[in-house]
Chain A
Amino acid sequence: MGVAFVALLFAIDALVPTLYDASLPTRAQDGLTLALSVLIESLPFVVLGVVLSIVVQVWVPPGALERWMPRRAWARRMVLSLLGMFIPVCECGNVPFARGLLMRGFTVPETLTFLIAAPIVNPIVIITTHQAFGFDDGILVARLLGGYAIANLVGWLYSRHPSPDSLLTERFRDTCALRQAQGPGVGARGHWNRTLAQFVIELRAVMPALIIGSALAGAVQVLVPRDTLLAIGSNPALSIVAMIALAMVVSICSNVDSFFALSFASTFTPGSIVAFLLVGPLVDVKMLALMRTTFTWRTLGGIVVVVVLAAFAIGTGVNLLV
């Protein structure tokens, strides 16, 4: 039946577009093209993230990860914020992987630290940022250290929360409880049944959010004039605000956002470029939609405030120093 379903979709994909000559209005078509490009680009990473999440939840024995972790909470967070160096998943795939960490029993502050750091502190992003900027104006160093610092700041702030689990959505807390009760590999269904069940559950959680986030990113790009945002590029403070706003709406993958930012380097301040490279991977509209599958709106609001203020401060510091 599964094969028939897939075959039917292939038949529709091949035949239906040839049956008529319909097209959308220009703006709507541009918005759909942009949204679909984000989806096609993101899907491989989401699938990889789901696979890694399943591995962590179902196949890695209890204690296998935990025994390598420091005991002190701050040290654990610092180690987790470097986990992105070994997990080749861009920010879309980090969300299902982070859900896997939570279901495995990692705390909310620890998982948040990983989730915030991984899109920036990973080898692909380091290489592409270096390709784009080299060591000019300290942009690469400010991005790396800034991302690492913001992640640990967010983790530390939420570790002070009196009830960190209330930062999660109620539904996700129950999902965690169910998985923790079952334990890895425990239960009549066995490993493979749990693998399939997690595959279904994680995709159910992530896909609608990813699609709506991508559609939002596409819609914003065709509806918000870019020159309006960028008319203030040379002002040291306003340029940072403009680039933060741009980062939140364009939703470009952190693996390649440096090349996009490079075109603004001639008109915008280095600090505003750093702010763009810090904010985009962490709290753009697509990422927020994905994170909403797991965290409450209140939590996301707090994260956005911390990330934006920290990025503004780091960007201002770069502008003052270079």
Chain B
Amino acid sequence: MSKSHALATRWLGVGLATVLAVVTLGLGLTGRLGLYINPESAWWAMGMAVVMLIGAVASFALPLGAEEEGHDHGHDDPVAEPVEASTLRQAQGPRTAQGPRTAQGPRTAQVRNAAALVATVTGGVVASGVVLTALVLPPATLSADLAMSRNIGAAPLFAGADAVTLAASGDTTAFGVGEWATVFATATNPETFDGDAVELSGFATPSEDGDFTLTRLVITHCVIDAQPAGLPVVTDGELPETGQWVNVSGTVRATSDGRLVVDAASIEPIDEPGDPYEY
């Protein structure tokens, strides 16, 4: 095995995993892991990242290339130097008995190796690019555009019937936009909530039922499953721009057609909070 191939093997495996472990720990130690996963599972992500780093440091004790002593790399991994596989195949069991390439001519094998080389190098560059970009760029939240594109018009059910029961009992102190969105979408007696005071923060998106929608992304496990929760807001004041974070104080009102809206008494523009998601 050449030194360059051995280095590529280490980088594309242990190297990339180590970078991701460092990114995970960096985010966790600075309190920003919640930008990517639910903070409840932060201990698990950080714990296994530490295990990964221990393994990475230990792997330096293994001489470069020693992991694949006697291993053939002449085909599916074209980054490697071509090595005769016959010795290995003759020595080993049935799993090596099938050799599709043995019936191929040398030209076919060359073409295949060239195509595999391009695929491997491209894949390696793309994978390295993604991971290194994550390392050198600051963390970011999902955009308002993405939140709007994920609005499918279906009722959000983040907290289920519990939220409606709690809201009906008057205990809404810990409610965020997600819980209220569940109540707005599923309450069978809207007048029960008429007059409830709310103070919520989120970003503004266009609305069909109000002057704008106060929106938050709600995460179950990680931001890939983030779903928008939105509350229609009506106001006599100035409307915030789409994507602008605002703090809304007001009252829940039941409309004549049986819907619930937030009647805003004040709308205060704010910076994006450090914890922009609800969980």
Contact = CB atoms under 8 A, between A and B. Distances in A.
B45 A263 contact: no
A227 B130 contact: no
Contact of B225 (A45, A181, A201, A259): A259
B21 A43 contact: yes
A212 B20 contact: no
A13 B60 contact: no
Contact of B221 (A41, A48, A206): A41
Contact of B224 (A9, A12, A181, A252): A252
Interface in A163-202: 163, 165-166, 168-178, 180-181, 189, 193, 196-202
Contact of B71 (A17, A169, A175): A175
Given A41-B37, A199-B55, A262-B157, A2 B60 contact: yes
B98 A173 contact: yes
Given A44-B49, A171-B73, A193-B66, A6 B227 contact: no
Interface residues of A, number: 96
B57 A43 contact: no
Interface in A196-236: 196-208, 211-212, 214-215, 217-218, 221-222, 225-227, 230
Contacts of A174: 71-72, 85, 88-89, 96
Nearest to A41: B222
Contact of A169 (B62, B76, B99, B140): B76
Contacts of B138: 17-18, 23
A221 B137 contact: no
Categorize the interface residue count of chain B: 35 or more
Interface stretch (B143-151, B205-213, B250-258): B143-151
A103 to B, nearest CB: 9
Given A6-B53, A217-B224, A230-B152, A36 B134 contact: yes
Nearest to A163: B98
Nearest to B10: A200
B186 to A, nearest CB: 9
Interface in B232-276: none
Contacts of B25: 10
A9 B58 contact: no
Interface stretch (B121-129, B167-175, B190-198): B121-129
A19 to B, nearest CB: 9
Contacts of B16: 203, 207-208, 211
B91 A40 contact: no
B48 A47 contact: yes
B13 A260 contact: no
Interface of A: 1-3, 5-6, 9-10, 12-14, 16-18, 22-24, 26-27, 29-30, 32-41, 43-48, 51, 102, 163, 165-166, 168-178, 180-181, 189, 193, 196-208, 211-212, 214-215, 217-218, 221-222, 225-227, 230, 250-253, 255-257, 259-260, 262-267
22 contacts: A1-B60, A6-B53, A10-B26, A12-B136, A13-B22, A17-B138, A32-B134, A37-B37, A41-B37, A165-B95, A170-B100, A173-B95, A176-B95, A177-B92, A196-B59, A197-B66, A199-B14, A207-B12, A252-B225, A263-B157, A264-B152, A266-B157
Given A39-B131, A211-B16, 14 more contacts: A1-B60, A18-B138, A30-B146, A32-B134, A33-B142, A40-B20, A163-B98, A166-B98, A174-B88, A197-B66, A197-B67, A207-B17, A211-B131, A263-B157
